[in-house]
Structures are given as C-alpha cells and as structure tokens.
A and B are shown apart, each in its own frame.
Chain A
Amino acid sequence: MPKAERGLNELYRDDPERAEALVFGRRGLLTGASLAAVGAAVGASIPFAPRMPAGLVPAALAQAAPAGGPPAKALSLPGKANLVVLQDRPLVCETPEHWLDDEVTPTDKFFIRNNGGVPDVPADPKAWKIRVDGEVNTPLDLTVGELEQRFQPVTLKLQLECGGNGRAGFQPEARGNQWGNGAIGCAEYTGVRLKDVLAAAGLKSSAVYTAHVGADPHLSGTAGQLTISRGVRLAKAMDEHTLVALRMNGAPLPHIHGGPVRLLVPGWPGSASHKWLTRIWVRDKEHDGPGMTGTAYRVTRKPMIPGGKVDDANMMILESMPVRSIITSVAHGAELAPGTRKLPVRGQAWAGDLAVSEVNVSVDYGATWKKAQLNAPANKYAWQRWSAEVDLPSDGYYEIWAKATDANGRSQPHVVGNWNPQGYGGNAFHRVAVLVKA
C-alpha cells in the first residue's frame, strides 16, 4: 500500500485531470485501499479549484453555518467542489444555494448524504451484482454489465433531494443535519427503469412494496448490520422515471455518489435512492427496515406541538417532497454597486412528484410579489428554471424572497410549520440578503 500512496500522490501532482478520471471515471482501476491512499496523498490540495465559481466560497460558508453552531468546514475531495461539510463521519455535505445555478447540476457540485461508511471500490464495476428477490416469480442476480445489456437505457434529468432539506428552519430545532436549502441537485442520469427490472423478475400479485439494500457499512463496524434500508410503494417503483442509475452527467456513476449502481427515485426523500445498491427485495407489506419506522422520514398526520411529546402512531411516511424554490444567481450577503436599481434574479424550483406552476419574488418581505418567468421542466421530475427582474428603489439592505407554488396550488409558507421531531418537509421561502452600497 505505501507504494500505491506514492504512485497516486505523484499522479495527482503531475496530472490531476487524469487522476480524477481514474478515481471518478474508471474506478475499476483502483481498489478501496488505493482510493483511501488518494485521500491521504492529496490531503489538502484542491486539484479542481479552477472549476470553482470565483468569489463564492466565502458567502457559501457564511450561509450554511447555523447560527451559534460550529464553524463551517469546506470539503476537499478530488472531483468535488468545496461543499460545506455538515459532518464528516458519516460524510454529509451541503451545496450552497448559489452554486446550484446550472440547469443540470455538475457532479462536483452535487451534495453528499451518506448514512454509513463508504464501501470498497469494486475492482471490476461491471461485475457488481444486484439481487432482485422476494415477491417475484424468478429471483434475479444481475451484474452492472447485464443491466446495461438486457434493458433499454433511459437518460433523464432528475431532481434528487434529501428528506431533511430545509431542516435548519424548524423552531424549535429538529434533530438531524441542519440543512439550509442545498440538499438538492438535478443531474442527468442514465440507467434502466426499475419497472423493467421488476418485470423481468415477474412480480407476484402479493408484491406491494420495495426494500432497498446497499453495500454501505454500518458506522459501528458491525458486519451484516444494515446502515439504512428504505423502500417505496410499488406504484412509485413502477413509475417510468424511477431508475436503476448507472451513469451521472455522462460518466460512470462516481463512487461517492453511489457508483457503480444506485437507485434514483426522484421527488421522494433521497434515502429511497439507495447508493451502492446490492438488493431490491420486493415485499408483501410496507417495508420495516432501518429508516422506515418510528420518526424516521415521517411527518405528522395531525399537527403536533412543536418540540412536544411524540406519538409514533401519529407519524406517517413522507413520500413526495414539498414545493421549494431557491435563488441561485446571487449569494446571500452579496454587495451590489451603488446606484443599483434593477437586479435580474433567477433560480430553480421543484415540487416532488408535482410540477411547479408559479414562482413569485419579493424584495419587501412579502408585501408585494412579482411573478417570475418559469420554464417547463426538461422532463418530468427535472427542476424548473425561473427568472425575474426586481426593482430596488434605493440604496440599502434588501432581502430577496422566492416563493414557488405547485400544480395543486400549494405554495411555500413564510415560516416552517408542521413540526416533526426529525425535521422533514421544512420548505419556507428561500431568503437572500443583499446590500446596495451607498
């Protein structure tokens, strides 16, 4: 292993682009130990700093740190931008909202949410196997290579959002990673439809729910203990946008994002989109694996007292994520030139299973709103770009607020409501403070 460390160190120093291709593109050339060596070898350097948006890191850090919380840390990992590290064991990193300005989220800017450890990098990604069993006529063992050969490939732009996105807005504090609005990305995925794979196995009439299993090891190191195992109702599994994903933005799915194969269940909490997928277990009842029961990924049936005693019987599984919009063209804390009176703003909006019907912006704390121009999604489950121009009548401090409304007429609220102990579904307006200098 010391030999590998030196080799990779030299590789990164001499040709970081190629090193990235090796680590993120052709992962088969590296073993898990070598990947670890990359980390140790690269250490502090940031080989892809030229891809970072200029001048945006500082405001990003200022934005993501919860008030009174620990100082923000920036991720330094080959192939990834300097995302805001919410925790490092397990690794959880948020993308500042103003880094999400691309129509398709580049891989380096995509948020990271691990629940356990990172599994070993397979020597041969094409030989990685998933098992499809349970309530099926013919249990299948399929390699990545077989998935590619047997099923029709599909390429879609799909929004993938952590169930806890917006958690920092809960009052009192909800338990978990204190996300702002940056646990979201909309990348282009290529894979095969889960429905085609399930059809190949032949669903029994008793099939009602899926259970997803991955190779991510439990943090305790206890062999065989599942880190997390969530699932979805069969109707969602059979949706033609639910993918067994093999590629992200035209490249093999990077290891840090669940490669060589993950699920992509768009519009529902990201934990259903299991990374490092090894098994789809079709069940005859609602799945009860880790992350399915108690208060995990659940919201209240009847509203509860914020911070009050939890009644597990009052909790129900969060399925579609709620409507949300973010402002991506201007950073929280941006200073504008003296005399600035008009400011073009733009961003993204999405609404779980639904389309977004309208986005409005305000610079006067919601007293008046201006309707933004809103694009149709590239395909169902892609986020939607919006843009507007706001008037700033004088120098001074303004907050730009964005409010999206879904196809059912439900808008984001002024403040996060529907308190639940683990803080799901917090979707209050995104607010960006700007200063027109005198």
Chain B
Amino acid sequence: MRLTFATLSAAILVMTAVGLEVQKARRPPPPPPREMPRPVAVVPAAPPAEVARASDETPDAMPDGKGRDETFYLCTACHGTAIIRQQGMPRERWDETFAWMIEKHRMPDPGATDRALIVDYLAAAFPSRQQRGRANPFLNR
C-alpha cells in the first residue's frame, strides 16, 4: 500500500487521539465482596482525574539518571515509554535489545558513545527485578 502524506497525517492523528484517551488510573481499591462477580449495569464512571497523552510525554516519564534525555528522545521517536518501563534486564540484554532495535526495527544508530550512554542508563533505570510475580492483593488494603 502506498502511503500518501495525507494518509500518514490521518494515521498520526488517530494515534494521537488514541493516546489522548488513555487515562491514568490509581492503584485500585479492593473489589467488593462477592462470590461470583457477574456483569451487571452500573452508573457511568466519573471522568478521570488525569489524561495522559503519549505524544506529550517528557523525559521525566522515566527515572532520573545520566543519559535519560538521550534515551528518551531516541526511543520515543517511534514508541512511547510504557514498553521501556515494562522491561527489566541486565546491561548485556539491554545492549542486545539496542542492536535488535537497529537491526529489526530500523532505529538510526546513534554511534558508540551515545549507545554506551543509553544502554548504561537503561541498565541502571530498568534492571532485572529480583521479585517476580504479582503483588499480594490482600496486603496494605
């Protein structure tokens, strides 16, 4: 399919709109006691307190650290920070991921100096997590 500028612009608009509709939700209160939750009608929810927009993200979406801005601007040329923030990897695997982004996803290669800076940042900010699995839902209620 041939992409015209108009098609692309429209697509970006749609993406922006989708991003706009994503709302931040607080860590929720516990569900009501019930043996068998069944779908029933409820009143419409109140408007969310905060609306996040992907294209409005700034570097402070990620933890502070040396190389954060360089990381932010390289990565968010294509995707949001949410996929970065979901990961936890040691430096070697962040470096592999960096190579994978260049090779498979056509990320421009920023050169060895910036690569080291960015991979160092990612490894420090998003290390492999020791604790895995879900939080205990019955604590801290």
The yes or no verdict on A and B being binding partners is yes
Query: Is the Cβ of A333 less than 8 Å from the Cβ of B79?
Result: no
Q: Is the interface of A mostly helix, strand, loop or mixed?
A: loop
**B30 nearest CB across to chain A (Å):** 6
Residues of B within 8 A of A91 (CB): 15, 18-19
Known contacts A53-B39, A331-B37, A87 near B83 by CB under 8 Å: yes
Query: Is the Cβ of B11 less than 8 Å from the Cβ of A118?
Result: yes
Q: Which of A44, A74, A295, A433 has a CB less than 8 Å from the CB of B138?
A: A433
Residue B111 CB within 8 A of the other chain: no
A344 to B37, CA, bound (A): 11
Interface size class, chain B: 35 or more
Query: Is the Cβ of B131 less than 8 Å from the Cβ of A67?
Result: yes
Residue A332 CB within 8 A of the other chain: yes
**A96 nearest CB across to chain B (Å):** 11
Q: Which of A71, A173, A217 has a CB less than 8 Å from the CB of B26?
A: A71
Query: Is the Cβ of A32 less than 8 Å from the Cβ of B3?
Result: no
Q: Which of A47, A117, A177, A330 has a CB less than 8 Å from the CB of B83?
A: A177
Residue A294 CB within 8 A of the other chain: yes
Residues of B within 8 A of A296 (CB): 104
Residue A39 CB within 8 A of the other chain: yes
**A68 nearest CB across to chain B (Å):** 5
Residues of A within 8 A of B85 (CB): 69-70
Interface size class, chain A: 35 or more
Query: Is the Cβ of B42 less than 8 Å from the Cβ of A217?
Result: no
Known contacts A45-B47, A61-B25, A220-B106, A333 near B138 by CB under 8 Å: yes
In the complex formed, the residue of A with least CB distance to B39 is A53
Residue A208 CB within 8 A of the other chain: no
Q: Which of B31, B78, B96 has a CB less than 8 Å from the CB of A310?
A: B96
Q: Which of A77, A89, A307 has a CB less than 8 Å from the CB of B21?
A: A77
Within 8 A of B (CB), among A22-53: 31-33, 35-40, 42-47, 49-53
Query: Is the Cβ of A68 less than 8 Å from the Cβ of B131?
Result: yes
Q: Which of B15, B37, B106, B138 has a CB less than 8 Å from the CB of A56?
A: B37
A310 to B99, CA, bound (A): 13
Query: Is the Cβ of B14 less than 8 Å from the Cβ of A117?
Result: yes
Residues of A within 8 A of B133 (CB): 67
Residues of A within 8 A of B2 (CB): 223-224
Query: Is the Cβ of B13 less than 8 Å from the Cβ of A43?
Result: no
Within 8 A of B (CB), among A196-229: 213, 215, 217-225
Known contacts A31-B10, A88-B82, A62 near B135 by CB under 8 Å: yes
**B57 nearest CB across to chain A (Å):** 9
Residue B77 CB within 8 A of the other chain: yes
Query: Is the Cβ of B20 less than 8 Å from the Cβ of A61?
Result: no
Query: Is the Cβ of A38 less than 8 Å from the Cβ of B17?
Result: yes
Query: Is the Cβ of B89 less than 8 Å from the Cβ of A173?
Result: yes
Q: Which of A52, A53, A118, A340 has a CB less than 8 Å from the CB of B15?
A: A118
Query: Is the Cβ of A70 less than 8 Å from the Cβ of B78?
Result: no
Query: Is the Cβ of A334 less than 8 Å from the Cβ of B34?
Result: yes
Known contacts A71-B24, A120-B7, A39 near B48 by CB under 8 Å: no
Query: Is the Cβ of A307 less than 8 Å from the Cβ of B93?
Result: yes
A151 to B84, CA, bound (A): 44
A74 to B88, CA, bound (A): 22
In the complex formed, the residue of A with least CB distance to B55 is A89
The 3 A-B residue pairs with the shortest CB-CB distance in the complex, in nearest-first order: A39-B17, A58-B28, A32-B10
A-B contact pairs, 27 of them (CB 8 A): A32-B10, A42-B21, A46-B45, A49-B44, A54-B39, A57-B28, A58-B30, A67-B133, A67-B135, A68-B88, A73-B22, A75-B21, A76-B22, A85-B82, A86-B83, A87-B83, A89-B55, A89-B79, A90-B15, A91-B15, A98-B37, A118-B11, A118-B15, A120-B10, A120-B14, A171-B132, A173-B128
Taking beta carbons and an 8 Å cutoff, which residues of B are in contact with A?
Answer: 1-3, 6-8, 10-45, 47-48, 51-52, 54-55, 77-80, 82-83, 85-90, 93, 96-97, 100, 103-104, 106, 128-129, 131-138
Known: A32-B7, A87-B82, A435-B138. 13 other contacts (CB 8 A): A33-B10, A39-B20, A49-B42, A71-B25, A86-B86, A87-B80, A117-B12, A121-B14, A177-B83, A177-B86, A217-B7, A329-B36, A397-B138
